[in-house]
Amino acid sequence: FYLAMAFVGVEFTENGTVGLVHSSWFTPFKREVFWPPYKTSNTFNRALTNAEEPDQSNWTLHAVKRSFFECDDIDKARKKLKICEVTSDIQSEPEGLYQDCSGKRSARVRKPRVVYSSDSEGEEARHKSLPKPPAFQQLNLRKPV
């Protein structure tokens, strides 16, 4: 008899955030998950713990970058999710709560700042056309003023 794990910690593709979802909210290939439209955390938590069936006409579909863990205990799943918020080393072992986690805070990877220009020239052409900076003149500190 195989019992599927109920709660899954996932990282979403769109914005890189992590969240806790019910395993029944996944699409068949487990690459997307349905998300309930509830505005308050109480109604969301009720849907999560009661394994509410997704209403495909009302729930939004979100791409999943990866799954961190599966857990059948909601409290353990929430603890693991808090760890996922600061580290990316959570393994997908079902019962290992802290053994899997390095506990180290991972460096946040920032996206490069994008500056848009209305120029029709390409980025490379603009860099190549910049003039050279003036030559650096050394000061003679031994000479009296």
> What is residue 143's predicted lDDT score, i.e. its pLDDT?
62
Which among 9, 2, 41 has a CA at the least distance from the CA of 25?
9
CA dist., res. 118 & res. 66, Å (int): 37
Q: What is the pLDDT of residues 66-98, one digit of tens each?
A: 999 999 999 999 999 998 888 754 444 343 333
Query: Which residue shows structure tokens 């509830």?
Result: 38
Give pLDDT tens digits along the chain (145 positions). Answer: 445 679 999 999 998 899 999 999 999 999 999 999 999 999 999 999 999 999 999 999 999 999 999 999 999 999 999 988 887 544 443 433 333 333 334 445 555 666 666 555 555 555 566 777 777 776 666 766 5
Structure tokens at 6: 């109920």
